[in-house]
Amino acid sequence: MTTDITRLSASELAASLADGTVSSVEATQAHLDRIAEVDGDLNAFLHVSAEEALATAADVDARRSAGDELGPLAGVPIAIKDVVVTKGLPTTAGSKILEGWIPPYDATLVERIKAAGLPILGKTNMDEFAMGSSTEHSAYGNTRNPWDLDRIPGGSGGGSAAAVAAFEAPLAIGTDTGGSIRQPGAVTGTVGAKPTYGGVSRYGLIAMASSLDQAGPVTRTVLDAALLHELIGGHDPRDSTSIPEALPRLADAARLGAAGDLKGLRVGVVKELSGEGYQEGVSARFAESLDTLRALGAEVVEVSCPHFTYALDAYYLIMPAEASSNLAKFDGMRFGLRVQPSEGPVTAERVMAATRGTGFGDEVKRRVILGTYALSAGYYDAYYGSAQKVRTLVQRDFAAAFDQADVLVSPTAPTTAFKFGEKLDDPLAMYLNDVATIPANLAGVPGVSVPNGLSDDGLPVGFQILAPAKADDRMYRVGAALEASLEKTWGGPLLAQAPELKTTELTR
C-alpha cells in the first residue's frame, strides 16, 4: 500500500474501512506503531491501551464482514484526554492525586464511542485538572509541539492536539473550559471544536468548572470534527445541563461549506479580539482569512462586544470558585492517592490535608485558594457575584452581535506556540493566552479553531469561528469553507508543512 494509513483523515480512513481496502486492525496497529515511534519525544499519551484498541478493532472488522450496519466512524481509532473517565483504563486528569485510579464506569461520551466501535488508543496528556494553556502543568511531564519540540502544544489539551498533529491518532477528545480545545488546535495546526454548552454530556468528565466545561472533537479536518461531534453529542439524562433538543446536522453543514459558497452569510469581526497583544503574523493571517471569506461570498462586518474586556477577569473568579468546590472530593478518603501526615496525629482532616498538599500541583493549589477566597463570606458578592454579572453582560454582547452577524470570528490565540518555561513564572501572561477563547465559555456558545496558515515564525495560527448557542452547524459550514479554500492555496493540508518527526525504530 502506498499511502500511510496514519496520514488519512478520519473520514478518508472511514471510507477505506468501508470499502475494505483497510481493516480496523491494520489502521489501529499503524497508529499504535506511530505512537511507539514518535511518542517518546512527544509525550502526548499518558497511557496506551493497545490490547483493548486491537480487540475493539478486531470486533469491528468481524462485524463488518458479517454485514452488520456500522456507524460512519466505526473502526477509526481515537485518543481520549485523560480528564474523561474510562472504565478499566487509568484516568489521572494529569494529576498525581489520581495516580493509579481505575474508574469503575465510563463517561457518557466514552460509552458512545465504544458503542460506535472506535478503538480507543489511549489517554492523552494535559495540564493537571485541565488547568493551564501549555500542558506544562501536567504532573507527568510536558507534551511537545510536533512543529517544534522546544515549544508548548497548547493546553490544557496539549496531548490530544499533539497526538492528532503528529498522526498518532486521526481523532481525539478534548475538553474546553476556557479554550483548552481551541488554543491547542491553533498552536498545533489542528481543528478543535467546543460545542454549545450542554451539547455533549459532561457525565464522566472530571470537572474543573461545571458551568464552563465542555467536551469536543480534536481532528485534522473540519468534517472529521463535525462527524465526531455528532457521535458524542446529543441529550444525556445523566447530565442535568444537557440540551434536550437534537443536534443540528453538523457533517452536512461541513460538506455544504466545503463546496465553497458563503453567499449571504454575515461574518462579524469582534473588534475587542484583535490589535494590541496579538502577534503580527497572527493578525496578518487573520486579515487574509477574512479576504478568503469575502471571496467566497460572505459579507464581513465589524461588531463590538464591549464587555469582552472584562471576560478574562470574570473567568478567573468563576472558574476557580467552581474548581475549588469540584476538587474538594480529592481527599484521599475514597480513591486515588492517600498520604499520611509525616508527623503528629493521623486524623481524617490531617490525612486530607497531607494528601492534597502532596497530590496537587502549584497551579491547582493556586486556583483552589483563589476560588476558596472568592466564595468566602464577605467576599462572595464582590467577587463571585460581580463575575456572574459580567457573565450576563458578555452573554448580552453575544446576543447583540449575533443580531448583526451569523458567525463571529477572531484569531484563536494571540500568539503562536511559545517556548517551554516562557510563561511558567507569570500566571497572568499565561492566562492572557485564553483572552479570545474565554468569552464563548462564559456565554455557552460554540466555537471552532481552524488552521489558517503559518506565522512569520513558521508556526501554525488558528482562526476562531463562534456561532450562536445550538447553531453549531454554522461554525462547521464556515470552517469547512475556509479550510477548503486555504488548502487549495497551500496545495494540501497545513500539517503537510510540519517537519518530519524523528522516529525511533520499532522493536516489535
**Residue 508 touches other proteins, criterion: CB under 8 A:** no
* Of the candidate residues 206, 265, 273, 443, the single one contacting other proteins (CB under 8 A): 206
* Of the candidate residues 76, 207, 223, 467, the single one contacting other proteins (CB under 8 A): 207
Give the nearest distance from C-beta 157 to other proteins in angstroms.
Answer: 16
Q: How would DSSP label each residue in 14-33?
A: HHHHHTTSS-HHHHHHHHHH
Only segment of 37-45, 64-72, 174-182, 205-213 that touches other proteins (CB under 8 A): 205-213
The question of whether 180 is a catalytic residue gets the answer: yes
**Residue 210 touches other proteins, criterion: CB under 8 A:** yes
The footprint of other proteins on residues 368-427 (CB under 8 A) is 372, 375-377, 380, 384
* Of the candidate residues 35, 57, 262, 352, the single one contacting other proteins (CB under 8 A): 352
In whole angstroms, give the CA distance from residue 430 to residue 312.
12
**Residue 283 touches other proteins, criterion: CB under 8 A:** no
Length of the chain: 508
**C-alpha pair distances (Å), 334 with each of 59, 97, 352, 374:** 35, 12, 11, 27
* Of the candidate residues 348, 399, 429, 506, the single one contacting other proteins (CB under 8 A): 348
**Residue 91 touches other proteins, criterion: CB under 8 A:** yes
In whole angstroms, give the CA distance from residue 426 to residue 422.
8
- Catalytic residue chosen out of the listed positions 11, 156, 289, 324: 156
Give the nearest distance from C-beta 348 to other proteins in angstroms.
Answer: 5
Size of the site for other proteins (CB under 8 A): 44
The footprint of other proteins on residues 157-186 (CB under 8 A) is none
Supply 212's cell numbers.
464552563
Write b or e for each residue in 300-311: b if 16 or more Cβ atoms lie within 10 A of its Cβ, otherwise e: eeebebebbebb
Only segment of 56-64, 69-77, 237-245, 433-441 that touches other proteins (CB under 8 A): 237-245
- H helix intervals, 168-279: 182-188, 222-232, 250-258
Contacts 24+ apart (CB under 8 A), 331-336: 331/355, 331/356, 332/356, 332/359, 335/98, 335/101, 336/97, 336/98, 336/99, 336/100, 336/101
From residue 303 to residue 322, what is the string marking binding to other proteins with x (rule CB under 8 A)?
------------------xx
The region that residue 69 occupies, defined by phi over 0 for left and psi between -120 and 50 for alpha, beta otherwise, is beta
Nearer to other proteins, 238 or 294 (CB): 238
In whole angstroms, give the CA distance from residue 340 to residue 234.
43
SS3 341: coil
Write b or e for each residue in 16-33: b if 16 or more Cβ atoms lie within 10 A of its Cβ, otherwise e: bbeeeebbbbbbbbbbbb
List Cβ neighbours of 72 (8 Å cut-off, separation of 6 or more). Answer: 11, 14, 227, 231, 251
**Residue 202 touches other proteins, criterion: CB under 8 A:** yes
**Residue 79 touches other proteins, criterion: CB under 8 A:** no
- Quick check: bond before 386 cis, omega within 30? no
**Residue 235 touches other proteins, criterion: CB under 8 A:** no
Nearer to other proteins, 201 or 274 (CB): 201
* Of the candidate residues 237, 277, 297, 421, the single one contacting other proteins (CB under 8 A): 237
SS3 250: helix
**Residue 103 touches other proteins, criterion: CB under 8 A:** yes
Nearer to other proteins, 104 or 491 (CB): 104
**Residue 209 touches other proteins, criterion: CB under 8 A:** yes
Query: SS3 sequence, 314-333?
Result: HHHHHHHHHHHHHHHHCCCC
Asked if residues 317 and 374 have their Cβ atoms less than 8 Å apart, the reply is: yes
The question of whether 156 is a catalytic residue gets the answer: yes
- Catalytic residue chosen out of the listed positions 24, 49, 180, 242: 180
From residue 476 to residue 505, what is the string marking binding to other proteins with x (rule CB under 8 A)?
------------------------------
Nearer to other proteins, 68 or 380 (CB): 380
- Catalytic residue chosen out of the listed positions 81, 96, 194, 470: 81
Nearer to other proteins, 105 or 426 (CB): 105
Write b or e for each residue in 170-186: b if 16 or more Cβ atoms lie within 10 A of its Cβ, otherwise e: bbbbbbbbbbbbbbbbb
Active site members? 81, 156, 180
* Residues engaged in binding other proteins (CB under 8 A): 84-85, 91, 93, 98, 101, 103-105, 107, 202-207, 209-211, 237-241, 321-322, 324-325, 328-331, 333-335, 348-349, 352, 372, 375-377, 380, 384
